[in-house]
Structure 1
């Protein structure tokens, strides 16, 4: 005779420690909330924007914030709020695509350098050190000046400036992971180096790469705004946050809103990405996760 009946309830799903730590971090929700809000406003800009961002009205030029124009108008009579919403599309797209390209190229170089080692590793890391010796803005300025001002060239210029950090971040854990026993077992079974790097090494270092990507996306948005401010961004009249600051600089004394609102948009976006990146880093780090 048994003392207790068998437990037939389904087994509980084990919590993901990273997601659980991210869920318990209150600051992460601030970053996630800001990013989601900004992305949604950018996606639905045609529905949210009260005016056409390219519509000019000389009679309405340089109007301060009012009921009709919440963020005022610029020197051409265009609605600043509408241009901010459409400009978010350009800034976020450039930031995301440039970081994605830098992540793919840089991580690939870093994994190859860490796995192959030897002369190839020295050559790749030497190139990375040279690229890191230049300030990000200066390197982006040189590349953008050579390629010319356009949406595609701006993505390429910013991606080149951010390739080196991803290569360095991917190389170090690759060297550590390739010495583990299951990697040696894979080699003994005849797995190709590309299979080992893509199937067994990449998933183990992907979290570090994603954290760096969230942090460097904030840097990409700042770089785009800086390049647009000096005239190497997307060509007018396409609205971008950096371009709006540059256009408002000429009217800074009698049109403070032309600079304040685009600057605040960049500030909140960069702040949200940094908060999210720090939260991801703390959630992935086992020591920080255990302390929380």
Structure 2
């Protein structure tokens, strides 16, 4: 009886039940929801304008007036931290969405066609995977220049290869299944088979991994902003705030510590959520 149950397909209700049974999944979900709420409600939650300068109050430590202190231009750190969440979440979400669409399409097409075409595509992807994510993003961002759009493009390109790898493996298995052969015999074309029959059967794996790689995208965004290849100032970004605080780390520790802690919480929430989704979608873990 146990073996029969283990081989049955996972229903959405069972997937949700497996997800909710994991206590850490709730921690990640609630923490991420709180961060998203802060980013969306930034105009109402931020006590000051994140770009407003007050030279008289520059480098003020955390106090009742400025809860997280001020930077070298007298700008409120808390307000900039709240608005910086918008940039980090937007860049991470859009970059991963672009990478997921392009990478999944490449993986499905390459795995379905196979042969020499598959070898050439996988060879190119292997070259991309041979570079560390940050180094590849650094090279692309340096060539394109510092801007929000170029930052998203650079991060998206670095994540295309992993998505293609994840999509290719199940495609090779699924294209040999009976329902695909039946569709082919019925007269369905390759594009219809790939994106109507194969893609829906492996999309859950791609979506689960996207939550984990979004954390990587946020780290990459912070790293590129730290070295000056992210969103140009004075726009508030967590990586840019850490860079500004690094110059005053001994005199004004709060400038770098609080943005670093915000990145830590966001990456932790995404990793907890991604691990819970991966375990819930894996029949062996249940």
Task: Using structure 1 for the length normalisation, give the TM-score.
Answer: 0.93
SS in structure 1 of the partner of residue 229 of structure 2: coil
Alignment of 1:1-292 (within 5 A): 16-289=13-286
Question: 4+ runs of 1 displaced by more than 3 Å?
Answer: none
Whole-Å separation in 2 of the counterparts to 1:187 and 1:229: 52
Q: TM-score, normalised by structure 2?
A: 0.95
Gaps of 5+ in 2: 1-10
SS at match of 1:179: coil
3-state SS of 2:284 partner: helix
- How far is the alpha carbon of 1:192 from its aligned partner? 1.2
Which of these two proteins has the greater Rg computed from alpha carbons?
A: 1
Instruction: Tell me the secondary structure at the aligned position of residue 287 of structure 1.
Output: coil
Shift of 1:34: 0.6
Superposed displacement of residue 197, structure 1: 1.0
Give a deviation string over 1:153-181, Cα, whole Å, max 9, x none: 00000000000000000000001111110
Q: How far is the alpha carbon of 1:15 from its aligned partner?
A: 6.2
Aligned residue pairs total 276
